[in-house]
């Protein structure tokens, strides 16, 4: 019994240490998510400013007309290299495969995401490292925009696949088109009334200004998708750590109950040993007194 009690004590100490590690990781996941959420809100404001510029361009030059066909697709797939967030990369890889065509070129973010894509039969042309913190979002978005400009020809479509927060703390992989621009977006900008008292004035040539606006819109969308993906990753990690903490707590309750039971059995055994020894001593003394009485004159 002593060895069983010692083993249970060691297991309880180990589980308490694991609980401390899980709690620390849960706290870090919650803390790490906050800068990405702030970055997402900030880039949303900047994207609205870019859309205001595109609105002014359409106001001066009229509605944009886009070509009907596309010459292939570039698919940007955003994954995670940090781990401890469940089947995060696998979900994104399955969504990417659902939109795969024979002429699709894949640009991947994350080495583990690259492995997940290869597991689904897809091979990315380029693999980039995901940002380690919110400051790296600017680096990643700028690198992606530069590479997309080098890879794209006139009618090449560009799309993103990344994770997004869903209801009840869940996550889901989504597909989002970058180019060509959404017809609904362009129609909404064309139909939006101009509320300023002065008409817009453009200092750049129309082609140059349109190129700048579209580049900044792509940058803002990629930046926003990266921030949302990393925010969702930390939320998924937080959910996994909460589940792990609950499992550890349940195991600790079981170990403590088992330890109390073993300790009680040991105490009972020791008491029984004392009682048996006491009764044996009483019998011996009784026999000694009985034998002494028979031998007396």
3-state secondary structure 204-265: CCHHHHHHHHHHHHHHHHHHHHHHHHHHHHHHHHHHHHHHHHHHHHHHHHHHHHHHHHHHHH
Give yes or no for residue 187 having a pLDDT over 80: yes
Of the listed ranges 136-140, 157-161, 211-215, 293-297, the least confidently predicted one is: 293-297
Contact assessment for residue 218 and residue 148, using Cβ atoms and an 8 Å cutoff: yes
Tokens 């994104």 -> residue: 92
* Average pLDDT, integer, range 112-134: 91
Q: How many Å apart are CA 239 and CA 136, to the nearest integer? A: 24
**71 falls in which pLDDT band (50, 70, 90)?**
confident
Domain boundaries, the chain: 2-18+247-288, 26-240
* Average pLDDT, integer, range 221-249: 88
Give yes or no for residue 97 having a pLDDT over 90: yes
Q: How many Å apart are CA 76 and CA 74, to the nearest integer? A: 7
Q: What is the pTM of this model?
A: 0.79
Give yes or no for residue 136 having a pLDDT over 80: yes
Give yes or no for residue 194 having a pLDDT over 50: yes
Q: How many Å apart are CA 182 and CA 187, to the nearest integer? A: 9
Superfamily of 26-240 according to CATH: ATP synthase, F1 complex, gamma subunit (3.40.1380.10)
State residue 293's pLDDT score: 53
Which residues share a beta bridge with 76?
107, 160
C-alpha pair distances (Å), 235 with each of 49, 76, 168, 177, 228? 29, 22, 11, 24, 10
Which tokens is 148 given?
A: 């997309």
Longest dimension (CA), the chain: 139
**167 falls in which pLDDT band (50, 70, 90)?**
confident
State residue 242's pLDDT score: 85
- In sequence order, which residues have a C-beta less than 8 Å from that of residue 164 and are 6 or more positions away? 171, 172, 173, 174, 228, 229, 232
C-alpha pair distances (Å), 118 with each of 236, 263, 268? 23, 54, 61
**φ/ψ of residue 160, rounded to 5:** -115, 145
Give yes or no for residue 297 having a pLDDT over 60: no
């Amino acid at each position: 019994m002593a060895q069983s009690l010692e083993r249970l004590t060691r297991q309880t100490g180990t589980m308490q240490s694991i609980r401390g590690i899980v709690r620390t990781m849960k706290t870090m996941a919650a803390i790490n998510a906050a800068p990405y959420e702030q970055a997402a809100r900030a880039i949303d404001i900047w994207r609205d400013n870019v859309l205001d510029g595109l609105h002014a361009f359409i106001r001066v030059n009229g509605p944009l007309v886009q070509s009907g066909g596309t010459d292939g697709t570039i698919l940007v797939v955003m994954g995670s290299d940090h781990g401890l967030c469940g089947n995060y990369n696998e979900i994104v890889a399955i969504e990417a495969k659902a939109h795969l065509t024979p002429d699709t070129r894949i640009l991947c973010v994350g080495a583990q995401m690259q492995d997940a894509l290869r597991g689904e039969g897809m091979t990315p042309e380029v693999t980039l490292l995901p940002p380690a913190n919110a400051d790296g979002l600017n680096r990643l978005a700028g690198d992606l925009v530069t590479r997309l400009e080098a890879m794209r020809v006139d009618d090449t479509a560009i799309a993103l696949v990344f994770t997004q927060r869903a209801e009840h703390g869940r996550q889901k992989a989504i597909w989002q088109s970058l180019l060509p621009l959404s017809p609904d977006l362009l129609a909404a900008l064309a139909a939006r009334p101009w509320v300023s008292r002065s008409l817009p004035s453009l200092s750049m040539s129309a082609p140059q200004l349109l190129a700048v606006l579209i580049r900044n819109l792509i940058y803002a969308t990629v930046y926003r998708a990266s921030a949302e993906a990393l925010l969702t990753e930390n939320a998924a990690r937080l959910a996994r750590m909460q589940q792990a903490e609950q499992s550890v707590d349940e195991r600790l309750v079981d170990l403590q109950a088992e330890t109390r039971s073993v300790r009680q059995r040991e105490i009972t055994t020791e008491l029984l040993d004392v009682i048996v020894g006491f009764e044996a001593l009483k019998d011996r003394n009784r026999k000694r007194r009985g034998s002494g009485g028979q031998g007396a004159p």
